[in-house]
Amino acid sequence: METHTTLIAAFLGLIEGLTEFIPVSSTGHLLLAGHFLGFESAGKTFEVVIQLGAVLALLTIYFGKLWQVFRDAPRDPAARRFILSVLVAFLPAVFIGVLAHDFIKNVLFETPRLIAVMLVLGGVVLLFVDKIAPEPRHDDATAFPVKMSLIIGFVQCLAMIPGVSRSGATIVGALMLGAGKRAAAEFSFFLSLPTMAGAFAYDIYKNRDLLDAGAVNEIVVGLICAFISAVLVVKWLLGFVSRHGYALFGWWRIIVGSVAFVALSMGF
């Protein structure tokens, strides 16, 4: 792998880790950055697979808590309900993701202007919801009602459109259903584990014939950088949104999407 390509893969990995768990659309940022840097991955697999680095970062941080949940599940109804809630929220993404995989990868991932527009629209929605969300009734991400979790799971499917943001969709859905700001972010973390791991496994399976040694090396570099940057973001995010909400991320989306749309319209 050439040094130039290695540096780009590392840079995109940093972007993935920094943006995966904040509501700004990591995939949108990756695809736009890859477009402007002239980076092309076989089957757009790099952009999906390096999310595993962010998953591993989350597992590292929450390992103790998750281990306790699974250890207590046989005798603790609350632990079983939490596991059920995450699995129920994950199911819509399984069905829709499998059915729409080729359309998402071959059409939506190849439409930079759509990504830019969705970044802006998502930013507007985030600013609006941050102001009008109902008074929180659920402050514990491990105790969301199963029905509420299922609705959040369907909302998460909107993020199959690049630029929408998986974390943004789940956070907005949770906020509008009465979750506190910290709890909304934390449930988004937990839901990301099966969702992103599933996307990783399915994408590897679908594109296994496209992965040569160069592509694997790019993925490894990006994955390591995503892991490092994601650890930093997860540790910072919960405290930030508890104090300041999500407006900063809404404005960031609007600025990045607008700049990208103008650049694309000028032929860049």
Q: Report yes or no: 226 and 14 within 8 Å, Cβ to Cβ.
A: yes
- Distances in whole angstroms, Cα of residue 128 to Cα of each of 77, 134, 250: 36, 12, 9
Predicted confidence at residue 211, as pLDDT, reads: 65
Cα distances (Å, whole numbers) of residue 223 to 18, 43, 80, 90, 142: 12, 17, 31, 23, 28
Instruction: Give tens-digit pLDDT for 51-97.
Output: 889 889 999 999 999 999 999 999 999 999 999 999 999 999 988 88
Question: Looking up tokens 């939506």, which residue turns up?
Answer: 108
pLDDT digits (tens, 9 = 90+) for 154-165: 999 998 888 899
- Dump pLDDT digits (tens) for 202-259: 777 777 776 666 677 888 899 999 999 999 898 899 889 888 889 999 999 999 999 9
Tell me the CB-side half-sphere exposure of residue 86, using CA atoms within 13 A.
Answer: 22
CA angle 232, 54, 159 (to 5 degrees): 115
Task: Considering only residues 123 and 3, tell me which one the structure prediction assigns the higher pLDDT.
Answer: 123
144 alpha carbon, distance to own chain's centre: 20
> Percent of the chain having pLDDT more than 90?
59
Mean of all residue pLDDT scores within the chain: 89
